[in-house]
Amino acid sequence: MKKIYIKRYNNGKSWIESYNVPEGTILEALEYINKNYNANIAFRAGCRNGQCGSCALTVDGEAKLACIEKVKEGILIEPLKGFRVIKDLIVDRESYNKKLLNIRNYLIRKHYPDTLEKINDKVVENVKELKKCIECLSCLSQCPARENSEYPGATLMRALARFAKDVRDEEDREKIAFFENLYNCTTCHKCVEVCPMEIDLVKAIEYLRSLSTKKSLYLNKHIEVKNNILKYNRSVSKIEKSFLDEVKEYYKAKNEKLRVAFFTGCLVDYRLKDVGYDTIKVLNAHGISVYIPKNQVCCSSPMLRTGFRDVAEKLIERNKEVFKNLDVDYIVTVCAGCGNTLKNDYKLKNVRDITEVLNEVGLINYKPINLKVTYHDPCHLLRGQKIKEEPRKILKSIPNLEFIDSKPKCCGAGGGVRSGKKELSKIIGKKRAKELESLGVDVIVTVCPFCEYHLKENSNLEVLNIVSLLRKVI
């Protein structure tokens, strides 16, 4: 038997009850409780097999389907977050239903044929992929943009993308999406993580953005970024000598164990040069020689995330050329966004985040440091690259350093939100900073210059890239 906790709600009052239940799914546990404890817990369910989406709820803070998720000792079950609770685990889905009307969630065309249409197999496949949604609303419940703005949430964007891909639909779906705050999504991928149908919702959103920019529906701030790229091949403007201008091409390590090419990214090159120097020092200290190709350009993430595919493609082509045929084991990034893009958009196999490569080559004995730190997971590292343990292992191996873990949450900087939707970005950033500050730490460590910049702006704490911390202890 396992002890589980259930948050109940009725007539404005809420309280937590605990029950002992046998192993099995949460749905089975709820049925067991009602049967054996006269509990009358209200919950929704239907198919018992992950097909209907009725039974989504929150388990230890995460959206789950009760019919799939297994009972574990000590879990707390709550109603799906982000919705008004009607009773116990039943939430009011009206806000979602209303949005469906707003986005005109139905096929729109002038003429409907009387006979079966010939439709290209590929179109069917593409549309089907986006129609898998079972409307459990898990993605809405955990979306930082929906929580903090008038953004409808991922599955509604998915619905619009589905119509946009359907050759039969004649409505201007990207326009609807744009005015439903398409650009509020930070591309944090939380929706993708919680989607029981494994739909790539962010891909759908980026697809809509690529359509909307073609119709001149974009944010002016993103045009500034685009212009920077066209001018400097960097997403930010050049204000002084860059990192690449200053450094040598090659830094050989003593007792070389590995050779890597350093992909700096825009911010390290133009704004956070120290992070660049720290990276070289840290890599060398671990026996890793560093080669720095001087012709490298922006990874294209800012363009891909905001819908300027054509600009992005040129950058991708250039970088692929620059990093081709190098005599190195890996390409190393210190920016979650760059790493994510090189791995998932370029589809390069030899890309590693700095934390991966250090763990692979073997951590060295670090000097003690008296510091209390926490780690902020960059979304594009955690969900984009599935890297969670590596940075934690590094932090935990530093003597005297006190590591306080924190639950991952988006800081609001990604997806073009920091540049394009300043207000929203700030609200999300402030909330995240507050959570991290409440841990009572001295320093926030992360592996993403965007997170770093953004958290610095919204918090009183020091924020460091993990390489800058390591620089102090090697």
Partner 1 sequence: MITDVLIIGGGGAGLRAAIECKNLNVIIAVKGLLGKSGCTIMAEGGYNAVFNPKDSFKKHFYDTIKGGGFINNPKLVEILVRNAPKELINLEKYGAIFDRKNGFIAQRPFGGQSFNRTCYSGDRTGHEIISSLLEYLNKFDRVKILEDVMAIKLIVKNGKCYGAIFLDLNNGNLFPIYAKSTILATGGAGQLYPITSNPIQKTGDGFAIAYNEGAELIDMEMVQFHPTGIAGKGILVTEAVRGEGGRLYNRYGERFMERYDKERMELSTRDIVARAIYKEIIEGRGINGGVYLDISHLPKEIIEKRLETTFKQFLRLGIDIRKEPMLVSPTAHHFMGGLKIDEYCRTNIEGLFACGEVAGGIHGANRLGGNALADTQVFGAIAGKSAKIYAENNELEIFDVKIKDINRDGELNIYNLLDKLKNIMWENVSIIRNKEKLNYALKEIKKIESLLDDVKIFGVVDLQKYYELKNLLTTAKLVCKSALYREESRGAHYREDFPETKDEWRGNIVIKDDKITFKKVEYDIEEYLKKF
Question: Which residues sit at the interface with partner 1, rule CB under 8 A?
Answer: 34-36, 38, 40-42, 44-54, 68, 86-87, 90, 93, 97, 100-101, 104-107, 112-121, 124, 127-128, 131-135, 166
In the complex with partner 1, which residue's Cβ is closer, 100 or 223? 100
Which residues are paired to 374 by β-bridges?
Answer: 404, 444
In the complex with partner 1, which residue's Cβ is closer, 119 or 230? 119
The single-letter code of the amino acid at 172 is: D
Work out whether strand 402-404 and strand 250-251 pair parallel, antiparallel, or are unpaired. Answer: unpaired
d(CA 122, CA 127): 9
Burial bucket for residue 308 (CB in 10 Å: 0-12, 13-18, 19+): buried
In the complex with partner 1, which residue's Cβ is closer, 23 or 442? 23
In the complex, what is the shortest distance from the CB of residue 52 to partner 1, in angstroms, rounded to a whole number? 4
455: phi then psi, degrees, rounded to nearest 5: -70, -35
In the complex, what is the shortest distance from the CB of residue 151 to partner 1, in angstroms, rounded to a whole number? 20
In the complex with partner 1, which residue's Cβ is closer, 180 or 377? 180
In the complex with partner 1, which residue's Cβ is closer, 28 or 437? 28
In the complex, what is the shortest distance from the CB of residue 90 to partner 1, in angstroms, rounded to a whole number? 6
Are the CB atoms for 310 and 218 separated by under 8 Å? no
Which residues are paired to 7 by β-bridges?
Answer: 16
In the complex with partner 1, which residue's Cβ is closer, 30 or 283? 30
Locate tokens 């692929």: which residue?
A: 320
In the complex with partner 1, which residue's Cβ is closer, 155 or 419? 155
In the complex, what is the shortest distance from the CB of residue 70 to partner 1, in angstroms, rounded to a whole number? 10
d(CA 188, CA 409): 9
d(CA 97, CA 92): 10
427: phi then psi, degrees, rounded to nearest 5: -60, -45
In the complex, what is the shortest distance from the CB of residue 15 to partner 1, in angstroms, rounded to a whole number? 15
In the complex with partner 1, which residue's Cβ is closer, 97 or 400? 97
In the complex, what is the shortest distance from the CB of residue 224 to partner 1, in angstroms, rounded to a whole number? 38
In the complex with partner 1, which residue's Cβ is closer, 196 or 276? 196
In the complex, what is the shortest distance from the CB of residue 212 to partner 1, in angstroms, rounded to a whole number? 22
Taking alpha carbons only, the member of 8, 454, 413 closest to residue 272 is 454
Q: CA separation (Å) from 311 to 25, 226, 314? A: 48, 8, 6
The single-letter code of the amino acid at 323 is: F
Structure tokens at 80: 């799906």
In the complex with partner 1, which residue's Cβ is closer, 169 or 278? 169
d(CA 262, CA 275): 12
In the complex, what is the shortest distance from the CB of residue 107 to partner 1, in angstroms, rounded to a whole number? 4
d(CA 66, CA 27): 5
- The conformational region for residue 218 under phi > 0 = left, psi -120 to 50 = alpha, else beta, is beta
In the complex, what is the shortest distance from the CB of residue 383 to partner 1, in angstroms, rounded to a whole number? 20
Locate tokens 């120097």: which residue?
A: 277
In the complex, what is the shortest distance from the CB of residue 111 to partner 1, in angstroms, rounded to a whole number? 10
- The conformational region for residue 50 under phi > 0 = left, psi -120 to 50 = alpha, else beta, is left
